[in-house]
A and B are shown apart, each in its own frame.
Chain A
Amino acid sequence: MILTRLRMRNFRQYRGDHDLRFADTPERNVTVVTAPNGAGKTGLFIALNWCLYGDAGGDRGELLHKGELERPEGYVEVHFRHDGRQYIARRDLVVKGDSEVEGELQLDALEPGGKVRSMPDPSGRLNGILPSDARRYFFFDGERIDEMSRPGHEDEVNDAVRSVLKLRVLERAVEHLRQVERKLAKEARQHAAVSENASALMERTELINDRIEELRGQKQATQHRIRQAREELDEVRSRIQAQEEVREVARREQLLEQELVRLEQERDGILDDLARELPRAGVALAAGALRGANLILDEKRSRGEIPSTIRQHLIDDLIEAGRCICDRELDPPAVDALRRRRTDAVSDELEEAVQLATGRIKSLGESRLEELDELQRLLQRRSGLVDEEEDVRRGLSELRERLRSDFSGDITELEAHRTRLEDDLGELHYASGRFDSDIAAAVDERDEAKVALQKLETTDRDARRLTRKFSLARDAANAAEELLERFSAHARAEIERETDRIFKSLVWKRGHFDRVEISEEYALDVIDRFGRSALKELSAGERQVLSLALIVAIGEVADHEAPLVIDTPFGRISKDVQSHLTERLPGAAGQLVLLVTDHELDDAARRQLDQQVGADYALEFDESLSITTIVEI
């Protein structure tokens, strides 16, 4: 949807007829409406929402201008373009007796040749263009949008993604198709002509469906617990670091952790370089293995894990020697604790993938290797980094051991708590993985039942139709479910990547923020350069920028042609960030409508924006008549 025009008569303080044309070309896609507080910006915002979706907000007051006594009627018309077609949405307002009566939505499409066609089911049609549940992420109050970026607001992010990407449509389709599938299986059981075998296979399918649903629910609950454990772990870490007596140890620990993050990032970078270099050198197989390694690494990072074969080896060595890193003898409980820590260490798939690639390079022969100096250099550097990481991890283990033994009870307790949480996290990740494999096994079982049902034959027409209908419901539900799963996973990763890119382009503390993360539960987080969550530290302005980045990213991933209509977009944004926003936001959104107060935008930002502004209006409020006029600048 691209807005082209807004026409109104007697709507709120807009007495008489008013006409506003939106900037709607790619080169100039920004419309600015400037007004002092109370002059009618929000009125325009409400006009759009009310006309298109019948929503004038909870505390809207009366919609018809009451000064118009002779002709007590009004309307709002929104003209827009979608998929190359022009539409006019309209809603009327009349007075009957003492009450204001709001008309139904009318939607006309302009056919080629100028013919106008009234669309049947206008609300349904409009939901197909910009769904009602998604529009609040396109038409919004800039000062309230930062809510999405507050800790604990993942439900809102989840809602935004599901609405804009139409995942909710798919969710409902799965739910309703499954209901019909179940109903058909029941009918089949009661139908005399349907064989017992066929009926049993349908029933089995339904039982598997129930099991899959239950497993998904359990996986979701586990993901929720993982997030809680991670938050608690961050909290415990902060509390340990805040203790006066361990300040020095905690400071060294923090430095080592930062160093570890740096080394791991460099090692990740080398994997990327290797993945680039290998195809250039014609080592396609090894490149494939490295791509696999990168995927594993990304997946681990998204779960907040760190590949740690080294930690496993270190722990094995300690257990074998029977002594801890500080050379103290290990008693049985300490050995048990170490064993638990070892299970927390993630598998060595990544290392295996890299070793596989390395092995394949080595098997190429000397002559070929001479051409691969750069590859060798990268592999050597990677190997050096592994050693350095091992040293850092050893140092960290030593410090943590000291925290567990050399300080007061409170600190020992906190450190023990941290160890327990890290153990729990390992177990939860393992459980989450188990749910995935159990779901995959159940899906295979369902497929087997499907094949078995296909092989059964019946001569009875009704039985054949019933079986076919069951198969159609089941297959359509399975396809919708697959779509939903793949959409969700793909969209989450894409939105995370895009939000990260857009946020970094908009925010001024780019060096401080390392990346934006969106968990499987849609919990939004910003990770700082030290690998720690920085969400709680964001200012209101930074949260607003993060929310904007998220909304633009969701729109991009959804491939939605939709306007961003923002009321008071820069209210909390500092001048520096305003400049970034006004420079980059028009390019990030398909169309931008900014309803700004007269002092909201500073001169530099305004000049920056001017290059993209195609329509510029001011609202003038006449106090003597209580009416607003739209003036084109």
Chain B
Amino acid sequence: MKLRELLEEVLEAQEDAVKQVLHDVLLAEQQRIDMERPRGIIRDVEKAIDDQARREEASR
């Protein structure tokens, strides 16, 4: 099994909201992978979570 398939298998079990948060967080992490202390990453992680929570509220 290729790693990409493994990724899909694990993500399939997650709700869409969690997938979206994880996607945003992984993207932010990847863009800073060359930084020893990635500046602003906690703010980005919080934003990914906050954005998702607000989207859910707006769609209710």
**Chain A residues packing against B (C-beta within 8 Å):** 53, 121, 123-125, 127-128, 131-133, 165-166, 168-170, 172-173, 176-177, 179-180, 183, 465, 468-469, 472-473, 475-476, 479-480, 482-483, 486-487, 490-491, 557-559
A169 and B3 form a contact (CB under 8 A): no
B25 and A476 form a contact (CB under 8 A): yes
Question: Would you mind naming 22 contact pairs between A and B with Cβ atoms under 8 Å apart?
Answer: A53-B34, A123-B34, A124-B30, A124-B31, A127-B31, A127-B32, A127-B34, A128-B27, A131-B33, A133-B34, A172-B29, A173-B26, A176-B42, A177-B25, A183-B46, A465-B53, A472-B21, A476-B22, A483-B7, A487-B6, A490-B6, A558-B3
Given A177-B45, A491-B3: A472 touches B53 (CB 8 Å cut-off): yes
Given A179-B42, A180-B49, A490-B6: A169 touches B30 (CB 8 Å cut-off): yes
Interface positions, chain B 1-34, Cβ under 8 Å from A, are 1-4, 6-7, 10-11, 14-15, 17-18, 21-22, 25-27, 29-34
- What are the 8 tightest A-B residue pairs by CB atom distance, in nearest-first order? A124-B31, A132-B34, A476-B21, A475-B18, A169-B29, A476-B22, A172-B29, A176-B45
- 8 Å CB contact of A472 from B3, B17, B38: B17
Given A128-B31, A131-B30: A165 touches B3 (CB 8 Å cut-off): yes
B26 and A482 form a contact (CB under 8 A): no
Which of A170, A476, A487 has the largest number of chain B CB atoms within 10 A?
A476
Least distance between A124 CB and chain B CB atoms (Å):
3
When distances are taken between beta carbons in the complex, the residues of chain A under 8 Å from B27 are: 128
Given A169-B30, A468-B56, A559-B2: A480 touches B42 (CB 8 Å cut-off): no
- 8 Å CB contact of B10 from A53, A172, A177, A483: A483
Which of A165, A179, A180, A480 has the largest number of chain B CB atoms within 10 A?
A180
B3 and A476 form a contact (CB under 8 A): no
- 8 Å CB contact of B50 from A469, A480, A482: A469
Query: For the complex, what is the distance from the CA of A173 to the CA of B45, rounded to whole Å?
Result: 9
Query: For the complex, what is the distance from the CA of A172 to the CA of B3, rounded to whole Å?
Result: 18
A465 and B3 form a contact (CB under 8 A): no
When distances are taken between beta carbons in the complex, the residues of chain B under 8 Å from A172 are: 29, 33, 38, 41
B42 and A180 form a contact (CB under 8 A): yes
Query: For the complex, what is the distance from the CA of A480 to the CA of B45, rounded to whole Å?
Result: 13
Interface secondary structure of A, over-half rule: helix
Query: For the complex, what is the distance from the CA of A304 to the CA of B38, rounded to whole Å?
Result: 40
- 8 Å CB contact of A180 from B10, B30, B45: B45
When distances are taken between beta carbons in the complex, the residues of chain A under 8 Å from B2 are: 559
B3 and A557 form a contact (CB under 8 A): yes
Which of A125, A468, A487 has the largest number of chain B CB atoms within 10 A?
A468
Given A176-B45, A468-B56, A472-B21: A479 touches B3 (CB 8 Å cut-off): no
A176 to B, closest residue via Cβ? B45
When distances are taken between beta carbons in the complex, the residues of chain A under 8 Å from B14 are: 475, 479
Interface secondary structure of B, over-half rule: helix
When distances are taken between beta carbons in the complex, the residues of chain B under 8 Å from A123 are: 31, 34
How many residues in B have their beta carbons less than 8 Å from beta carbons of A?
A: 34
When distances are taken between beta carbons in the complex, the residues of chain A under 8 Å from B38 are: 172
When distances are taken between beta carbons in the complex, the residues of chain B under 8 Å from A476 are: 18, 21-22, 25, 49
Given A132-B33, A169-B29: A487 touches B49 (CB 8 Å cut-off): no
A486 and B34 form a contact (CB under 8 A): no
When distances are taken between beta carbons in the complex, the residues of chain A under 8 Å from B30 are: 124, 127-128, 131, 166, 169
B29 and A487 form a contact (CB under 8 A): no
Query: For the complex, what is the distance from the CA of A367 to the CA of B6, rounded to whole Å?
Result: 43
A180 and B46 form a contact (CB under 8 A): yes
A170 and B26 form a contact (CB under 8 A): yes
Least distance between A432 CB and chain B CB atoms (Å):
24
Query: For the complex, what is the distance from the CA of A170 to the CA of B30, rounded to whole Å?
Result: 9
When distances are taken between beta carbons in the complex, the residues of chain B under 8 Å from A559 are: 2-4
A475 to B, closest residue via Cβ? B18
When distances are taken between beta carbons in the complex, the residues of chain B under 8 Å from A177 are: 25, 45
A479 and B29 form a contact (CB under 8 A): no
A479 and B49 form a contact (CB under 8 A): no
Query: For the complex, what is the distance from the CA of A557 to the CA of B4, rounded to whole Å?
Result: 10
B17 to A, closest residue via Cβ? A472
- 8 Å CB contact of B33 from A168, A180, A486, A491: A168
Least distance between A136 CB and chain B CB atoms (Å):
12
Which of A166, A179, A472, A487 has the largest number of chain B CB atoms within 10 A?
A472
Least distance between A393 CB and chain B CB atoms (Å):
37
Least distance between B59 CB and chain A CB atoms (Å):
13
- 8 Å CB contact of B31 from A121, A166, A480, A482: A121
When distances are taken between beta carbons in the complex, the residues of chain B under 8 Å from A183 are: 46
Least distance between A80 CB and chain B CB atoms (Å):
18
A176 and B41 form a contact (CB under 8 A): yes
A479 and B31 form a contact (CB under 8 A): no
When distances are taken between beta carbons in the complex, the residues of chain A under 8 Å from B42 are: 176, 179-180
Least distance between A383 CB and chain B CB atoms (Å):
35
Least distance between B32 CB and chain A CB atoms (Å):
7
When distances are taken between beta carbons in the complex, the residues of chain B under 8 Å from A490 are: 1, 3, 6
Query: For the complex, what is the distance from the CA of A475 to the CA of B21, rounded to whole Å?
Result: 9
When distances are taken between beta carbons in the complex, the residues of chain B under 8 Å from A465 are: 53, 57
Given A173-B29, A177-B45: A472 touches B52 (CB 8 Å cut-off): yes
When distances are taken between beta carbons in the complex, the residues of chain B under 8 Å from A483 are: 6-7, 10-11
When distances are taken between beta carbons in the complex, the residues of chain B under 8 Å from A124 are: 30-32
When distances are taken between beta carbons in the complex, the residues of chain A under 8 Å from B31 are: 121, 123-125, 127-128
Query: For the complex, what is the distance from the CA of A559 to the CA of B30, rounded to whole Å?
Result: 17
